[in-house]
Chains A and B, each alone.
Chain A
């Protein structure tokens, strides 16, 4: 698909993709957190969950950026020249999207962690006693 500056939907599509990726990051973090068992003695399992939460967030952001590279060739116009104004918009939209991936997944995660403080996912926040 070739992007055109007069196409009103492409920016919305990229932002929507960011929201979807943020939700996927959250869901994967949640599932992983619950798959990591509690430990006896000095229970450091919350550290593993925290690390996995960070890994998923980073992977979400990286994966989202990979999509940017995948779409990069589409800024060329019909003569094979790069449409710089479109590319600039695209880059900015993607930066905003990446921030959305990280921020939205973090905000949703933190809200759920707070709401489910006594769950394994909530344990990512650290000490509760």
Chain B
């Protein structure tokens, strides 16, 4: 039976961490697992939220247009069966604290006036009145309370919603097994920082509301979270912006917020009793500006909305890898921690030159290197117009390859779109960096991020657009020489009359004839599996 894993991504950083987690699923790092993803954000129109939705749509379609076709698999790309849920507190009509809590009426209700007095004691006027549609803006004292009540309200709602569906799955899993719940988010911003401390209590309470008498999630499940400290900065707001927004998050406070949050997580008894593993992740400085690229130089502070579409950062992959580590942690270890009530605070110091083991540890570094590296090759085989491999196989244009004519074309359209988000989107009109290229840039570019620098430089620029460099020797230039300790021999020669594609196709035909993927029902997934095996063999990778 497939394993179950419950992940919540909260706030803008949480959304990007989920993106990285989905890419890990695409690499095949969550074999034979149903991953339940709950994206939780206050800012429904956020650009990062939109990109995440696009990414998960592609992933789901890649596995099958019908949800019934999607099953967890092993040793292949897109092996995890994703179930996606999202929840946003509704701040469309009531968009600030005073409106949500009916402050006006309460203040003049003699029996409840004390509640508004209490609110006034801990919240300033500006905090009570700022627009919540762009999140909690680093006001975590407000955010924790608002998020908790939003979750409880959604559980009490008579109409079905994604949150209830997620909790139903969690309840079911808790009754049959010990569920693992992991929370991705930052501790220095607004929504994530507000929610991490209260989420276990909130979802446990909400789960008991939707299924009275069911197992106590808080007691039965294991909880882990990232403690993601400040790692980026953005433009300081002008005086006019400060005045118009009432409350605005400024990145110069992120380091201080992080420090205070870490002290809280080190000290708070509830947190210690709730979480079994906390992964402390951060960078040395905040020099990274995710919204600034050569083509985009914002002149104002972006508080949220569609404009807020931050580039991804390698630290988000570290956070997603923390989720993987938590998932792979044996239950007895977590049970012991839960019993003692003292969580494990985990961290790992890494060099400027990032290595595979920095993300997944020494036990999984080879598997990670294989799956990540060959997924990049799969992306090239899909995106380069001179290859267009999966679609040419489906359409019969690769006339030597049989058995894939009944693939649903929508799956391969989604595959191509997915790889544009994963790697690069190259057209004569524009070049759009995908996740991998953004991560490389965040690490400092060149060979600092896991791979041979040539893989992020495989495009010939022509004006604003470009074309793929057909001379790129992907048979030999995927991995760095510096990683020879794990990737030694992971390349192949092509011979005088051959080329990398020729060698790949020859091996593909051989693998396809060996019926290695015959047990997989979905023909598209059979194709992914055959490509997975083929690339493993031509690169001489031994598991």
Contacts and interface: CB of A to CB of B under 8 A. Distances in A.
Interface of A: 35-43, 46, 118, 120, 122-123, 126-129
B399 A37 contact: no
B385 A41 contact: yes
Contact of B501 (A36, A40, A120, A127): A40
A120 B502 CA distance: 10
Interface of B: 381, 384-389, 392, 396-405, 497-499, 501-502, 505-506, 509-510, 513
A1 B465 CA distance: 72
A38 B509 CA distance: 11
A122 B513 CA distance: 14
Nearest to B470: A40
Contacts of A120: 506
Contacts of B505: 38, 43
Contacts of A39: 501
B501 A38 contact: yes
A123 B275 CA distance: 60
Contacts of A46: 399-400
Nearest to A42: B397
Contacts of B387: 40-41
Contact of A38 (B381, B506, B510, B513): B506
Which interface residue of B381, B384, B499, B502 has the most chain A CB atoms within 10 A? B502
A40 B402 contact: no
A32 to B, nearest CB: 9
A127 B399 contact: yes
A37 B498 contact: yes
A41 B404 CA distance: 15
Nearest to A118: B509
B113 to A, nearest CB: 74
Given A118-B400, A129-B396, 5 more contacts: A36-B497, A37-B501, A41-B392, A118-B513, A129-B399
B388 A127 contact: no
B526 to A, nearest CB: 14
Nearest to B401: A129
Contact of B392 (A37, A40, A123): A40
A127 B398 CA distance: 9
Given A35-B497, A118-B509, A41 B399 contact: no
B500 to A, nearest CB: 10
A38 B506 CA distance: 8
Nearest to A34: B497
